[in-house]
Amino acid sequence: MAAASNNQPLLEVRNLRVEFPTRRGTLLAVDDVSFDIAPGEVLGVVGESGAGKSLTGNAIIGLLEPPGRVAGGEIRLEGRRIDNLPYEQMRKIRGARIGAIFQDPLTSLNPLYSVGRQLVETIQTHKPLSAAQARTRAIDLLKEVGIPGAEMRIDHYPHQFSGGMRQRVVIALALCADPRLIVADEPTTALDVSIQAQIIALLKRLCREHGTAVMLVTHDMGVIAETADRVAVMYAGRVAEIGPVRDVVKHARHPYTKGLMGSIPSLGVRTDRLTQIDGAMPRLTEIPSGCAFNPRCTFKGQRCLVERPNLMPAGDTRAACWLHDRGGVGAPILKETVDA
């Protein structure tokens, strides 16, 4: 949809469902999620804990933790279906075509190997280079991600790096094989604010220079607003709203997105109270019928209680909300409140 019409999207996710079989029945953690990522595009995926954003990312890189499994839908990378590949084939794609960056840089690195050894191993897995060539490339990568004294630092171990520097090493690892897509799951959450700004600037620069697309999964709307081209807002396993980041931030159409934006304290305006969405996101075992947001929604109508909305055009974005079903019957369109 948002991919330029003249070229094929890099990643297509269609009706993705991820479920977890448990003793108390099967939980649907990701429910019918569809989106595209164009080459070179940064798609932000935002939502509160339990919204299914990380699981969507993990499904794409093929690292769902059992017993979680893809129960339906398709994931296509450059037109090729990747959600049903055998483990070994997926392993080759992961790293070569899709890079991954996780939240905690300490657990993403092996504490027993120097960062150089880890980089060289990754490079040689995906590229036909000699050990010396791979080492040169590893040093170049470390320089590129802004590690001072890369020639010396390459032989250091992860514990000798600070949190921000470790996350830079992880980014270098993700970039080893020039992937077309990087799935970054909360890459800045574990870092201090000043380091966070450095890492975001770095990610933005690298993606621009390499033309790498990024799926940026985070709960921090501020990070998304600064980095992403488009954003998908997830709620209870579904996409509540998707669109260009500016439109979603400034003119959110889904009542949940509106509430979410209002609940972020902003500088410049001191309000007495923050907008608050009462209640909490339902547990996966207790997803209400109809629209999953209906118990917390102030605009709900009869239809919202029984019929589940799909994404529909709403202003400049697409929102899964009956308020925007112009031709349909059901929830009243409270125009002044929605567009205000």
Partner 1 sequence: MPDGGADFVRIEGLKRHFDVSAPWLVRKLEGRPRQVVQAVDGIDIEIAKGETFSLVGESGCGKSTVARLVVGLYPPTAGRIEIDGNDMAGRRSRTDMAALRRRMQMIFQDPFASLNPRWRVFDIIAEPIRAFGLSTGKADLEARVAALLRQVKLNPADGRKYPHEFSGGQRQRISIARALASEPEFLVCDEPTSALDVSVQAQILNLMVDLQRRLQLTYLFISHNLAVVYHISTRVGVMYLGRLVEVAPTDTLFRRPKHPYTRMLLDTIPDLEMTGRQRSPVGGEVPSPINPPSGCTFHPRCPFANDRCKTERPKALPIEGGTVACHAIEEGRLPIEDRTYALNT
State the residues that interact with partner 1 by CB under 8 A.
Answer: 48-49, 162, 164-165, 192-198, 200-201, 219-223, 225-226, 245-246, 249-250, 259-278, 280-281
CB of 159 to partner 1, least distance (A): 14
Q: 95 vs 164, which CB is nearer to partner 1? A: 164
CB of 158 to partner 1, least distance (A): 16
CB of 268 to partner 1, least distance (A): 3
**Is cis: bond before 158, omega within 30 of 0?**
no
Q: 66 vs 265, which CB is nearer to partner 1? A: 265
Q: 35 vs 256, which CB is nearer to partner 1? A: 256
The SS3 call for residue 185 is strand
CB of 317 to partner 1, least distance (A): 14
d(CA 270, CA 265) in angstroms, rounded, equals 8
Q: 48 vs 74, which CB is nearer to partner 1? A: 48
The SS3 call for residue 334 is coil
Q: 40 vs 222, which CB is nearer to partner 1? A: 222
CB of 250 to partner 1, least distance (A): 7
Contacts of 197 (CB under 8 A, 6+ apart): none
CB of 200 to partner 1, least distance (A): 8
Q: Which helix (H) or strand (E) holds 278?
A: none
Q: Is the distance from CB of 216 to CB of 44 less than 8 angstroms?
A: yes
Q: Six-digit token pair at 217?
A: 């999964």
Q: 58 vs 218, which CB is nearer to partner 1? A: 218
Task: Of 46, 24, 60, 318, give the one whose Cα is nearest residue 182.
Answer: 60
Q: 84 vs 275, which CB is nearer to partner 1? A: 275
CB of 48 to partner 1, least distance (A): 4
CB of 44 to partner 1, least distance (A): 12
Contacts of 119 (CB under 8 A, 6+ apart): 134, 138, 141, 142, 154, 169, 172, 173, 176
CA dist 27 → 17, 55, 62, 213 (Å): 10, 13, 19, 31
DSSP single-letter state for residue 308:
P
Q: 47 vs 62, which CB is nearer to partner 1? A: 47
Q: Six-digit token pair at 305?
A: 């209680």
Task: Of 72, 63, 54, 68, give the one whose Cα is nearest residue 13.
Answer: 72
CB of 168 to partner 1, least distance (A): 11
Q: 10 vs 245, which CB is nearer to partner 1? A: 245
Beta bridge partners of 20: 27
Q: Which residue stretches of the chain are H helix?
A: 53-60, 87-96, 105-108, 115-126, 131-144, 150-153, 163-175, 193-210, 221-227, 245-250, 255-262, 302-306, 335-339
